[in-house]
Every structure is written in structure tokens, then in C-alpha cells.
Amino acid sequence: MSRKVLACIDASPYAQAVCDYAAWAAKKLDVAMSVIHVLDKSAKVTTSDLSGSIGLGSQEALLAQLAELDEKHGKLTMESGRIILDAAKAHAEAAGVKAVDQRLRHGQLVETLAELEDETRLLVLGKRGLSSADAHGHMGTHVEQVIRTLHKPIMVTQQTYTEPKSIMLAFDGSATALKGLEMLAASPLGKGLPVHLVMAGANTAATEAHMDAAAGILRNAGFTTTIAIVGGEPEDVLHQYQQQHNIDLLVMGAYGHSRIRQFIVGSTTTAMISKAKCDLLILR
């Protein structure tokens, strides 16, 4: 089965950036692209919430009208979903993606994406969706759950697309971080872009040795690589470094050791993603 870049599209302000980033990735990886819109049944208006307040004499007629409105609402959301997908497909094709398909699904977002995992090369979704688009400084309701559930690379975008001109890889010297580094070195996604290899921690002979060995892997793969070891809490100093050097794409592993593990899989996951001022690529 050929794997695709899967773009998760909704009616939020993030949709165009998601589509742009997915198109960029599909072209870099030379794979097809799929745009998906999930209709969450639990978000539908139901009549059960209102039936208790309807008077006995008119209950049957009002329930019939409410059921009709509910049906119209369902048809409207489906039509809206199709319009969103049509626009996303056209946008990706205009950006030069050769093969784009579209999918309109009913169900829960996380479960739906999990079902499509085997055919996914990379998942792209916005930092927030429609229900939380205005919750600035936070990430969307489903983002952390998606990251914890899927075992494929996940790109989390900001509202505005910027074609990556540089990459920053958060590295902690662990075997898992090394695996993520090797994934980046082998992938066409970052080819031709300079990489900043950044570790949050004390600058010791051991950490320098880890960083030199890691940088060697990237350089042997053709990457121009800069090494930096910065002291402080990872969720603070890594973002500071990214902003100081105007880096477009922050790459990190979903699992690791030491404090890197804590901020990726622990309670500070939300803070790390929420603080990001650039797009993120989460490697599994």
C-alpha cells in the first residue's frame, strides 16, 4: 500500500495552512495527498435535550419539527464538509500536487485517523480546530490525543503557512532521539535545508560528544548542521532558540529520556506545543 500525506481539514482558520503544508510535504516526499474532513456525530444538535421542556399538548408536533431541523442540520454539515474538501483539493492541485483524493467521514476524529494510520506517511493538522480556534496560547482539544494515539510522523501547523527554510531538531542524546535524527537524515522532507541540532542541558564533554556524533550523521546525509547546547528548561530554551534564529520548523521525538521525555509525554506536552511560534514535526 502506498502511503500518503493526510491533511486533516475543517472550517477553522488553520485549514489553508494545513493544506499548504501537506502539499509541500507531498511534493517533497513524492507521494499522493489525501484531504479528510471528519463529521463528529457527538457535535450534532439532538432533540433529547429539549423534549423535557415541551408541553404535553404540543410535544408530538414540536418533536417532529425538531427532528426535521436535526435532519436538515445533518445535511447542511455534510454539504459544508464537501465544499471544504473540494476547496482543499483544488488548492493542493494548484500548488502542484499530482494526486489528491478527498474523504468525508462520520465519527470521532482520533478514531478515524487511527483507522487510516496504515496508509498514512505523514499526518498534518492545525494546532487548533474550529471549536478552539480562538483559544490563543493553547492547543486544540484533540491534538495531544492524536499525538499519543498515532505512531506516524505528525506535523502541527500554525495559522499561516511559511515554506520551511531551516529546521531545528530537539535532541537529548537518547537512543530514541537518535532514531528520530536518523529518520530526519533519511527522509526527503528536509533535504536541502540547514539543520540546527539543539540540546537543552549542561555543556559537558559527554554532551558535546553526543552532539558531534549526531551532527556527523546529518552531515554525512548532506545536511548543513549547526550544533547548540543551551542551559535551562527545555520548554523555555528550545523555543527561545527557535525564535532567536528564525527557524521555520521544530522537529522533536514523541518519546525520549530525561527532561525531554517529560515535556513530550508528560503533563507539560500541552505547554510545549502551545508555546510554539513555528510549525512542529513530531516523530514517532
Please provide the CATH number assigned to the domain covering 167-283: 3.40.50.620
Confidence of residue 153 (pLDDT cuts 50, 70, 90): very high
Confidence of residue 117 (pLDDT cuts 50, 70, 90): very high
Q: Return the domain boundaries, the chain.
A: 4-42+77-157, 167-283
Fold of 4-42+77-157: Rossmann fold (3.40.50)
Mean pLDDT computed over 151-166? 93
Are the beta carbons of 92 and 18 closer than 8 angstroms? no
pTM, rounded to two decimals: 0.83
Confidence of residue 38 (pLDDT cuts 50, 70, 90): very high
Match 493526510 to its residue by C-alpha cell.
6
Mean pLDDT computed over 13-24? 94
- According to the model, what pLDDT value does residue 3 have? 92
Q: Do domains 4-42+77-157 and 167-283 have the same CATH topology?
A: yes
Are the beta carbons of 187 and 180 closer than 8 angstroms? no
Q: Which of 42-46, 119-123, 238-242 has the highest mean pLDDT?
A: 119-123
- According to the model, what pLDDT value does residue 263 have? 46
**Which of 94-108, 129-143, 244-258 shows the lowest mean pLDDT across its residues?**
129-143
Average pLDDT, the chain: 83
Confidence of residue 78 (pLDDT cuts 50, 70, 90): confident
Buried b (16+ CB within 10 A) or exposed e, 115-142: ebeeebbbbbbbbbbeebbeeeeebbeb
- According to the model, what pLDDT value does residue 20 have? 96
- According to the model, what pLDDT value does residue 74 have? 78
- According to the model, what pLDDT value does residue 40 have? 79
